[in-house]
Structure 1
């Protein structure tokens, strides 16, 4: 920006200097030449008057008597009737400027001046014009640099303010630069920063309030589920066979354990939201065992799949560790598994693998897949092909990206969703 401003102003100055400089050189050259011609003609006329005066006074007109009347840089030829021509000075070589004057008495005088003298004067004038042009260009460069700095520095400052605002720092700067247009941009940026700050404060307050209000009922629900698990171990049913009692107890205990795991995961997510609302810069990503999260999700959803007459299985590489928030990643997988249960068909498979420095969990089923018209838009909020809210996949992608991962649709038919997470660096031996 600054360089373009300097180049533009300098180009304008150079064009102006060139146009006026060339015009001035031409005009001055003609003026000097005309002045030289006028000078020799004037000298010739003056010498004619001097000769006439001497002739009228009866004085002799010779080279000695006329030498004092002739300038040193002139060549003069005096022609008198009936007398040899009188020559004074040296005849110029290499061109000359000539002026002639005569009177009715046939006195004729020719004056010549060397054209080199005229060229020397033209050269001196040209040097003066070039010096003035150079001074003008230097002054223009200094002025252009100052003006470019005055304009470019505020623009750079405004760009930094916009970048800082886009990176999540909504503090207004309240800087003004004395340029109405730039001050207007600064006013708009400050107003936008204040609005964004108010919106972020309101959202964080809402998240904090919601998280705080949810913690108490979740804690109570967790305690009730724990009581159900404990009571299931000691349940007795009258007039029932031991096998029936054992089966009922196992079912109750299994459902309670699954419900307790779900409550614990939801509690973890709520706690994470509460922590983020207090300090948005505080991260919660840690290294965790990916097998445990996958296994926990399969066990949690197996009763629902069994009830639907479907199967949920896993395959691929085991013993992988990833970086992220276990509760949030479990929520992402739960969203994918629930979508496969609600909108898919056949068996659902979870496959783990390594892709470079990332670990990948793929979730696929044998259903019709994603509508070709939707494609990757399935992750947009309110976009759904099955009359649902369209928030599940959008929230799941946000959770993945919050931990430095990503959620992608690798294949539409059959559907293959993939969760990419950073792989935890292995410690060197001996640690």
Structure 2
């Protein structure tokens, strides 16, 4: 029973982790990638707005402002700023095969593009998957420990309940076991105790009835036995004596 309860709880935990952990392990990398892309898109929009604020009349001043902005917000990114076919600013280079790309057009007609390496994002996604797997392993270990504890807590009352049922079956009334907190087991234990008390009551009544019957039959059987012995003693007929002896044997058998 304990093994069955342990297996049942373990299977429940495993199914729950599979239904929750597998989608989470799939969605976590997608969420990390989408979050990084959204963040870079917002950076590109902010840069385009920033360019609208500072203007582009003084090209040297604009380039210096964008360079300062890049050092603060996107130091390892590649930024391109074009006005129609004219390149206003270009800095940085991204050689990675996996890239995040964002672009925006400012109100002043500037085309802003920003590229960055996606390798850190990929590592973050891998870290998210590892975190999900670690959490799943911890949850599985906790579920297994809970299954051991729960199966032990469930099996112990059942062992005592089995012993109580065995004693009730043999006619011995066992003291009620302490409540286990499991309603079904407590109900069965109480019913077994009541059944044992009823059985003992019936056995006592049967013994009292047998005692009364024995007492009521002993006196007439003794008188009958004496009467047959008297007949056997007084008769001279051998056949009558044989029948009397047979009757005495039957009376003695009944008496016993």
State if a TM-score over 0.5 links the two structures.
Answer: yes
Q: CA separation in 1, counterparts of 2:52 and 2:90? A: 12
The reply on whether 1:132 has 2:135 as its aligned counterpart is yes
Residue among 116, 132, 144 paired with 1:113: 116
SS in 1 for 2:60: coil
Greater Cα shift, 202-211 or 5-14: 5-14
Q: Please show how residues 10-409 of structure 1 align to structure 2 within 5 Å.
A: 10-48=10-48, 49=50, 53=54, 55-59=56-60, 61=63, 68=71, 71-79=74-82, 82=86, 86-93=90-97, 95-103=98-106, 107-169=110-172, 171-175=173-177, 176-232=179-235, 235=236, 249-267=237-255, 270=256
SS in 2 for 1:98: strand
How many residue pairs get matched?
250
TM superposition shift of 1:87: 4.2
SS in 2 for 1:91: coil
Q: Is the 8 A contact 2:79 2:92 kept in 1?
A: yes
Q: Structure 1 residues 58, 226: closer, same or farther in 2, change over 3 A?
A: same
TM-score, normalized by length of structure 2? 0.75
CA-to-partner distance for each residue in 1:158-206, whole Å, 9 max, x for gaps?
333233222332x142233334443333332222221211110111122
CA-to-partner distance for each residue in 1:99-142, whole Å, 9 max, x for gaps?
12344666444322233322211121122222223333333333
Q: CA separation in 1, counterparts of 2:149 and 2:33? A: 42
Which structure shows the bigger proportion of residues in strand conformation?
A: 1
Q: Structure 1 residues 103, 195: closer, same or farther in 2, change over 3 A?
A: closer
SS in 1 for 2:95: coil
CA-to-partner distance for each residue in 1:314-360, whole Å, 9 max, x for gaps?
xxxxxxxxxxxxxxxxxxxxxxxxxxxxxxxxxxxxxxxxxxxxxxx
TM superposition shift of 1:264: 2.8
TM superposition shift of 1:91: 1.8
Q: Is the 8 A contact 1:72 1:89 kept in 2?
A: no
Q: Is the 8 A contact 2:6 2:151 kept in 1?
A: yes
SS in 2 for 1:76: strand
Q: Structure 1 residues 11, 57: closer, same or farther in 2, change over 3 A?
A: same
Q: CA separation in 2, counterparts of 1:195 and 1:223? A: 42
Q: Structure 1 residues 73, 219: closer, same or farther in 2, change over 3 A?
A: farther
TM superposition shift of 1:41: 2.6
Which structure shows the bigger proportion of residues in helix conformation?
A: 2
Q: Is the 8 A contact 1:172 1:189 kept in 2?
A: no
Structure 2 residues without counterparts, runs of 5 or longer:
none
RMSD: 3.6
Q: Is the 8 A contact 2:81 2:110 kept in 1?
A: yes
CA-to-partner distance for each residue in 1:352-407, whole Å, 9 max, x for gaps?
xxxxxxxxxxxxxxxxxxxxxxxxxxxxxxxxxxxxxxxxxxxxxxxxxxxxxxxx
TM-score, normalized by length of structure 1? 0.48
Q: Structure 1 residues 123, 97: closer, same or farther in 2, change over 3 A?
A: same
